[in-house]
Amino acid sequence: MPGGKLQTLRTFIHPMNTQTHSSTGFARFFVTVASKLSSVPAKYLFGFFILLAIGISCHSWFSSQDMAQWTRYNNYVIFKQSFFHLVHSQDLYPEYPAEHYDVYKYSPSFSLWMGVFAWLPDLPGLILFNLMNIVVFIIALRTLPLSKPRLSLFLFFILIEAMISLTSSQTNVLIAGLLILAWHFMEEDKVWWAALMVMITIYIKIFGIVALALFLLYPSRWKAAIATIVWAVVLGLMPLLVITPTQLQFLYKSWGQLLTMDHDASTGVSLYGWWHTWFGFNMNKQVFVLAGALLFCVPLLRFKAWAQPLFRLHILASVLIWVVIFNHKGESPTYIIAMTGVGIWYFTQKQTGINLALLLLALVCTSFSSTDLIFPYKLARTYVEPFAVKAVFCSLVWFKLIWDSTTGNGAELIGNNE
């Protein structure tokens, strides 16, 4: 590796004291690993992500063939069957144990959209579904202002979480991609596309509503508000293509009742779940989420900062982390969204030692904790999941992000060529 590039990587690890850190064994090891990973072309990693989606889909399907009941791709089955429930004018939200375990929790509109895959046999449908997730995600990541070495490091950083989400056949990879694309389209002043991206996420996971805050940062915010209302109506009424208005009204009421009961019954792998299981913390969940929303809004009071590209990127990162750590139904596969936010926060700015420490601790305790690399399976099932360990360092990153964004603490955007 050329000396200049190695020096850049050393500065990337700790720009304030390169020589001291490079003299330690750990720093030398980290520089070596980072330099090798960053030298892998991003296009090869994107190809690997696509092959990963196909391979995981095939493994999930083939490994389900000897199961007496249900499948290893249960979430996909829930999504698929919701389409048939929709077109047959059934309630989407009760249990259907003959078809799958757990219940459907998304909007009637998403059920309609699943018709694209529902007509296919499970294997090709599952492959295409996971490919849709990962392709949208890849397109979104390519819009981030990252140099090629940093983009490669970013992809390695989120690799484990991407695998976890794809294995669960959920929509989290798609959600992360759509939220990034909403930011990108606002940067390009393509307001209608940005509003569409956000509204699709809301009709999948209602917590995506937090992403509407991105629109405040741009001069075309009022145009974005109009576009959001239009898309909300269009997407919300799309199920009328296959059901009656009375049935659609019933389904939205049923969905609202499910979300209300679901919120009261769970803490999830979330900030609330972490504080509750570690410290016995108890608080009205609606008040807790409201407090989190208010804290999220504090950096937005720096009106002059709205014009700064890094500030807007960090609000995007804040959205990505917030929708997970304040989600009462947060679970391991949703952390691809949060870790994407952590990656954007870290890789788009010049660094400090504390940022690096938080990044590595998030990698170990969030991503590696879901594998046998650090925590044995029994330990993970006994402590990591029940005690919401995955939420800990993503939450700490979010608090630091909020602090830095509020105070304007020494952050500077790294250009595409650095």
What is the domain partition of the chain in residue ranges? 1-39, 40-407
Q: Where are the alpha helices (DSSP H) in 39-121?
A: 42-62, 74-87, 108-113, 115-118
Binned at pLDDT 50, 70 and 90, residue 353 comes out as confident
Residue 316 φ/ψ, nearest 5 degrees = -60, -45
Is the model's pLDDT at 24 over the cut of 80?
no
What pTM was estimated for this model as a whole?
0.90
pLDDT tens column, 29-83: 767 888 888 889 999 999 999 999 999 999 999 999 988 888 999 999 999 999 9
DSSP 48-67: HHHHHHHHHHHHHHHTTTT-
Other CB atoms within a 10 A radius of the CB of residue 185 amount to: 21
pLDDT tens column, 27-36: 677 678 888 8
DSSP structure class, residue 94: S
| pLDDT value of position 328 | 80
Is the model's pLDDT at 375 over the cut of 90?
no
Q: Is the pLDDT higher at 259 or at 227?
A: 227
| pLDDT value of position 37 | 87
Mean pLDDT rounded to a whole number for the chain: 88
- Among 14-28, 215-229, 378-392, the minimum mean pLDDT is found in 14-28
